């Protein structure tokens, strides 16, 4: 059965991803891409990211990681650790959608990364994405998006696949 774990992240020049529980930018074309890539698949996120979104993402199976055994939200399946998630993901495409703690927990099992590299630096950031060792990842696509009237910053959409030696 076909089975893939992919990760999607938007980060600044220093890999910052969040500030005060929120995304530090509003980039509509990036959000549109997030939706297009994840729709119809399963998304796994940390409890804090779920709280910041506030409801299950429509059109996707929503999974949440939490250590709170009493945590429950209708329409969401919750998991107590990453290993449980891997065991439950038997087929199809699982998207790791953040935040920082979940990226760290999942990264070793990820096959593909879709990064939005935002051309800015968020001085007040409090959450980061880990560095990716060049030796482990091949860049297979890069698409440039300029800043414009709807996007305060330019960004690159970069696809990486894990190098298999
Ligand atoms: N730029 C982006 O692409 C992007 C994407 C997503 C999120 N974000 C941002 O990232 C920030 C949130 O990230 P964060 O790192 O603070 O929180 P998070 O990763 O979203 O959630 C952390 C929570 O997940 C649970 N958790 C973490 N590791 C676990 C494990 N191994 N097993 C079981 N449960 C685990 C814990 O929940 P309990 O406390 O309930 O036990 C923990 O408090 C926000 O600012 C958000 O906007 C950015």
CA atoms within 13 A on the CB side of 106: 32
Residue-by-residue pLDDT tens, the chain, 165 positions: 699 999 999 999 999 999 999 999 999 999 999 999 999 999 999 999 999 999 999 999 999 999 999 999 999 999 999 999 999 999 999 999 999 999 999 999 999 999 999 999 999 999 999 999 889 999 999 999 999 999 999 999 999 999 987
Q: Is the CB of 57 under 6 A from ligand 1?
A: no
CATH annotation of 3-162: 3.40.430.10
Of 66, 85, 155, best ligand 1 pocket probe by most atoms within 8 Å of the beta carbon? 66
Q: What's the rounded Cα separation, in Å, for the pair 59 and 115? A: 22
Q: Is the CB of 101 under 6 A from ligand 1?
A: yes
Query: Cβ(102)–Cβ(96) under 8 Å?
Result: yes
Q: Is the CB of 56 under 6 A from ligand 1?
A: no
DSSP-derived secondary structure for 67-78: S-TT---TTEEE
pTM, 2 dp: 0.98
């Amino acid at each position: 059965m076909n089975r893939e774990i992919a990760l999607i992240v938007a980060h600044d020049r220093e890999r910052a991803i969040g500030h005060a529980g929120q995304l530090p930018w509003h980039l509509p074309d990036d959000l549109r891409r997030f939706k297009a890539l994840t729709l119809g698949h399963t998304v796994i996120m940390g409890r804090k990211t779920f709280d910041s979104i506030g409801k299950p993402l429509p059109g996707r199976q929503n999974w949440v990681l939490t250590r709170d055994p009493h945590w429950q939200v209708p329409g969401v399946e919750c998991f107590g650790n990453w290993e449980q998630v891997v065991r439950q993901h038997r087929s199809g495409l699982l998207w790791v959608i953040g935040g920082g703690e979940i990226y760290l927990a999942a990264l070793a099992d990820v096959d593909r990364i879709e990064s939005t590299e935002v051309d800015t630096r968020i001085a007040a950031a409090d959450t980061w994405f880990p560095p990716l060792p060049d030796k482990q990842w091949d860049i297979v696509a890069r698409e440039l998006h300029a800043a414009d009237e709807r996007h305060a910053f330019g960004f690159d959409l970069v696809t990486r696949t894990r190098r298999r030696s």
